[in-house]
């Protein structure tokens, strides 16, 4: 069975996003972005920290696709679905920051729907397409459901968790080799009670021990 993961993007307007885009920044990630560029996944992991690191590590661990076929994609504001390995430059990122993640904005919605149609057509009906991101707002769910309907899945364990908790949970899954439970977004409860906290364990430390 094919299993494709769609990762929600990092917030480029946050503190780390502004830092890496600053023309005065002299740390390695910013210098590479201004020079030869760097992989989108690496950039978003820097900007978002634990949450995107968890999504990226989890998707790479459990994605399944034929050889030489991408199985992990990042949702972007203006470039549709992009593999995390694709190298982007500072000018690419600047163009992304000009477009809001708003389903009513065709600059965001049209490339996303175009790419998800291509992915859906190239995967068998029983293949899994899993969103690793929030389903509590329509910004990702609305355009994806329009194309995929009940084929769009997400981890039920995400309900009620914040970003840090989700990131830690996914890193633990990578270490243990155990996947989360995927259910259709269309029929899911999108808000729920907060699950038990993992505050007594450092997920990054636990992952590094392995």
Helix (H) or strand (E) holding 165: helix 163-176
Write out the two tokens for 190: 């999108």
In tens digits, the chain (210 residues) has pLDDT values of: 789 999 999 988 888 999 999 989 999 999 999 999 999 999 999 999 899 999 999 999 999 987 778 999 999 999 999 999 999 999 999 899 999 999 999 999 999 999 999 998 888 777 899 999 999 889 999 999 999 999 999 999 999 899 999 999 999 999 999 999 999 999 887 555 555 554 434 444 444 433
Helix axes 50-62, 163-176, angle to 10 degrees: 30
List of E strands, 140-194: 152-155, 182-184
- At 154 the three-state DSSP class reads strand
The 8-class DSSP code of residue 27 comes to S
Strands 72-75 and 3-7: parallel
């Amino acid at each position: 069975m094919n299993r494709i993961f769609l990762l929600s993007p990092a917030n480029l307007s946050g503190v780390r996003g502004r830092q890496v885009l600053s023309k005065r920044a002299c740390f390695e990630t910013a210098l590479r972005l201004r020079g030869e560029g760097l992989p989108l996944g690496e950039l978003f992991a820097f900007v978002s920290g634990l949450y995107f690191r968890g999504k990226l590590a989890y998707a790479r661990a459990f994605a399944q696709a034929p050889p030489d076929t991408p199985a992990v994609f990042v949702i972007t504001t203006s470039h549709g679905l992009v593999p995390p390995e694709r190298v982007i430059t500072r000018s690419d990122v600047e163009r992304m920051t000009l477009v809001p993640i708003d389903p009513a904005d065709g600059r965001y919605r049209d490339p996303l729907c175009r790419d998800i149609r291509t992915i859906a057509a190239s995967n068998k009906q029983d293949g899994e397409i899993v969103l690793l991101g929030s389903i509590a707002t329509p910004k990702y769910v609305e355009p994806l459901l329009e194309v995929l309907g009940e084929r769009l899945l997400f981890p039920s364990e995400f309900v009620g968790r914040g970003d840090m908790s989700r990131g830690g949970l996914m890193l633990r899954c990578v270490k243990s080799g155990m996947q989360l439970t995927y259910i259709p977004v269309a029929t899911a409860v999108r808000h729920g009670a907060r699950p038990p906290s993992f505050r007594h364990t450092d997920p990054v430390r636990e992952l590094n021990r392995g």
